Amino acid sequence: MSDANPSEQPDRPTGPPSGPLASGAPRPPRGSRRSLLVALICGTLIVVAVAVIVALVVTDGEREAAGTPTTPTVPESPSSRPTRTQASEAADADDVHAFGETERYADGVDVTVSAPQRFTPSDGAAGHTAGNRAVKLEVTVRNGSEARVPLVVIVQGRDAQGREVERVFDDANDLGAGLMGTLLPGRTAVGTYAFDVPGGSDGTLDLEVTVGVDRGPAFWSGKVP
């Protein structure tokens, strides 16, 4: 048997262990380390972005330096441009037809507008005002080309003051939508259109007709009865 006293235990160290863990320096909180990491990542991204922007600016500068220099445009002499009065006189002389005349396009399409005629609108007519002069006229389109012509026809009327004249629609007088559909080569189509000329005007009717989307408008002007 051992003579050792069971109540007597060997001495155990009571202080902090020796070595690196025995340092008394406080550890940084976990939140501080996370904030530091985020700051480092953001700083790195900013540096990379700035480097990319600088590289793009330098590249664009080199491309502009290598490009062909632009030749300055010589301004057109004022004497070589027609004045507003000259252009208006040319339009009056060459571009405005009298009623009954024909506009001939280079592709072989011809447009003719007849002289206006007075008529009496029915009670169910739309666009007529009592006291105005209701007139109707015919727009004739002849297709002298070798291609089909879509009859997308726009007819607009104005009085001598440039105010738009109301168009009249009257089923009783066969005044409907006008020309529609497709015109075959060598064929002719006729549409009737009516307008309500103000009674207080001098009776002048200016007409603008456009056929299709690839032809310019044609103009007619004259007095209504």
- pLDDT tens sequence across 154-169: 999 999 999 999 999 9
User: Is pLDDT of 117 > 50?
Assistant: yes
> Which tens digit of pLDDT belongs to each residue from 25-62?
455 555 555 555 545 555 655 654 555 454 544 455 55
* pLDDT surpassing 90 at residue 110: yes
Q: Average pLDDT for residues 118-131, to the nearest whole number? A: 96
Pairing of strands 102-104, 109-113: antiparallel
CA trace torsion 71, 72, 78, 79 (10° rounding): -40
Q: How confident is the model at residue 1 (pLDDT cuts 50, 70, 90)?
A: very low
State the architecture of 98-223 in CATH terms: Sandwich (2.60)
Please, what is the average pLDDT of the chain? 76
Q: What are the tokens at 110?
A: 């011809």
List the beta bridge partners of residue 137.
Answer: 193
For residue 57, what pLDDT is reported? 47
Token pair for residue 81?
């441009």
**Band of the pLDDT at 121, cuts 50, 70, 90?**
very high
- Determine the pLDDT at residue 154: 96
pLDDT for position 156: 96
Of residues 30 and 204, more confidently modeled: 204
pLDDT at 200: 81
